[in-house]
Structure formats: structure tokens, C-alpha cells
Amino acid sequence: MLVLGIESSCDETACAIVEDGKKIISNVVATQIPFHQIYKGVVPEIASRKHAEWILPVVRQALNEASMKLEDVDAIAATNRPGLMGSLLVGLTFAKTLAWSVNKPFYAVNHMLGHMYAAHLENDIQYPYLGLLVSGGHSIIAKVNGFDDLEILGTTIDDSVGEAFDKVSKYYDLGYPGGVIIDKLAKNGDPKAFTFPVPKMDKGDHRYDVSFSGLKTAVIHQADFFLNEGYEKTVENIAASFQETACKTLVSRLLRAVKDTGLTTVVAGGGVAANSRLRAMLAEHSELKCIFPPLKLCGDNGAMIAGVAYHFLKRGETSPLNTTACARIPQFKRGLANLEAFGRR
């Protein structure tokens, strides 16, 4: 079964064709980074206009690279939440129209289900496992029982980890998007230069939760206070120390979840899963089997959306053509039935 997946939730216009939820036939990602760079962040209005301009050529290119016509695919899918409203609407409306025009089933896919699925592309992974979803908008630790069955154990109580990377980069004028730049700068810095605080949320309800707003404030406004003797306040040292603390925060909560659930397979997803220090830190835990998507599938792409849709298709489900976009997933809270957080309603 061939699924064409469209992704337009933020600043990438993307389309992919995936066979049986596994094999990537084509995967086109048109990044808008150069258009947002001068503003040091994503400008929603520019993003939606670029999507509107690029969606048709990107879909055409994905079909061309697969040597296919629209009629050859079995289903059409698009991200419908969460994300920037105007951006989501472009991909979603385009996908629904395509599906209607060729009379193929349509699937609206939750972007975070997509990120969780990315590592499954071209790779066999058994459920259940612990999922680490780390992106520009989310930081989630979940017990993953199936492609659409995630029990949220912990989440951020304030900023997402990706947002902290981006804000630190913006403040120190390092460039946009921040994550990849900080990752690179950190390689020439010393993570021991600053001892930034790791949030302590040890009790009860917050056992697996993370927080990045305190770290962000410390790095931006109080860096001098955390500088250790004998070290210089260079951007490389700031990057390395910040990254070390951010990764430690995530890994410490994840290890708690490993201990409590007995699950030793960890699957990561989302833009921050590309981080080299996060990968190295988890690799130090030989008791764990840590699976990361390849770098090109950590960020936003259409293949992960097509992959998820294939499983809905296999279950005989479809999404109605009046499915709407939704900027946020307010139900992303611990303990809620996964259907509320991840279902396609």
C-alpha cells in the first residue's frame, strides 16, 4: 500500500511516498529556514505563504522522484495538529482536496505521532517501549504501546527543550534554528565551564516531568553567576554547558521511567533527537537499547506522516473530509486516555 504524506505544520513544506508504512519511496523536504533566519525565528505569516507557494511543486517532486502519478497512491495523509494554524491549513486543505479529487481515502495525522513513528521507517521496532519526543514544541516521555497508543508519563511544565535551544541561541545571537548551531558550537566548548541548575521535581506528580524555563533564564540572564573558576565565558562554553544540562534533565527523567516500568528500549523522535550529546549520553547506558531516527527523519518530514497513516489505513479507518486543523493539543497531560491526546477527533 502506498501512502502520500504531507507535512506543513511549521517551517518545512514536505511530502513523501511510503510503501507499507516502512519503505520510503521518495521524501522531499523544502525548508524555509533562509526566509525566517533574518527574523531569528519562524514568522507564522511568512511560513503559511511559503507553504501555499511551495506545496504543489513539493508534492509534484515527491511523485516525480517516485516515478508515480497521483492515481498510483492508495491514500493521502496530512498533519492536522499541532502546529501553526495557517501552516497546518495549507497542507491539510491541499491533502483533503487531492484525496477528494482522485477519490482516495484521507488521513489526518497528529504530528507528534509522526515524530514517534519516524524511527519505525525502514526499521522493525517492537512495542512497548519508552518514547522520548523532543521537538520545538514538545518534550514528552511516554510509554508507547502502539503507533497511536501513547501513555504520557511526563511532559514539560513550561518550555520545550527545543524552545530552550532556540531562545538561548537567539539571545546570544548565534543564529536560527538554535539547536543545530548550539550542538555544533558545543563541540568546541567545555560542558564543565558553567554549572547550570538541573530542575528538581522529584516528588509525586512530577516524577517524569521536565522543565527548561529555569535553565533558559539561568543561561540568558544569570550566566556569570554559574561560571566556574578558571573558565571563560565564551559562546562555545555556554553552548556546551547549556546543552549538557538540557540533556541531563531529559536523561535523568527517562532513567526514572526505565526503572519504574522495566522497559529498556527507548525510541527517540523530534528535532532535538538529532542532538549529538543526547545521543552520546544515552549511548553510555549499555543497559538500554536506544533507537534514534536517522538525522534526516528527526526534523519535520512527510514520511513519518505517511507511515502513521498506513496503520490507520490497515485498520480500515479514514478521516472525514471535514476534519479541521488544531494549533494545540491541550490534552497533552499525564494520565489522560491516549485517544484524547492522540486520537484524530
CB of 246: closest distance to Zn ion in angstroms?
18
Is 134 part of any known ligand binding site? yes
Amino acid at 251: V
Q: What burial letters (b/e) apply to 85-122, b meaning 16+ CB within 10 Å?
A: bbbbbbbbbbbbebbeeeebbbbbbbbbbbbbbbbbbe
By CB under 6 A, which span of 84-92, 96-104, 172-180, 311-319 interacts with ligand KG4? 172-180
Residues of this chain, 296-315, that bind Zn ion according to CB under 5 A: 300
Q: CA-CA distance, 165 to 180, in Å (whole number)?
A: 9
Is 300 part of any known ligand binding site? yes
Q: CA-CA distance, 121 to 295, in Å (whole number)?
A: 12
159 scored as a contact of Zn ion (CB under 5 A): no
* Near Zn ion by CB under 5 A: residue from 48, 135, 211, 245: 135
By CB under 6 A, which span of 49-57, 118-126, 173-181, 199-207 interacts with ligand KG4? 173-181
Among Zn ion, ligand KG4, none, partner that 137 touches (CB below 5 to 8 angstroms by kind): ligand KG4
Helix axes 213-221, 161-171, angle to 10 degrees: 10
Among ligand KG4, Zn ion, none, partner that 274 touches (CB below 5 to 8 angstroms by kind): ligand KG4
183 scored as a contact of ligand KG4 (CB under 6 A): yes
CB of 302: closest distance to Zn ion in angstroms?
12
Instruction: Please report, in angstroms and rounded to a whole number, the separation of the first and last CA atoms in the chain.
Output: 24
* Near ligand KG4 by CB under 6 A: residue from 7, 148, 166, 209: 166
Taking CB atoms within 8 Å and a gap of at least 24, the contacts of 336-342 are: 336/152, 338/148, 338/149, 338/150, 338/151, 338/152, 341/150, 341/152, 342/110, 342/112, 342/113, 342/148, 342/149, 342/150
Instruction: Enumerate binding residues for ligand KG4 (CB under 6 A).
Output: 10, 115, 135-137, 162, 165-166, 177-180, 183, 270-272, 274-275, 299-300
Q: Which residues are annotated as part of the binding site?
A: 111, 115, 133-137, 166, 179, 183, 275, 300
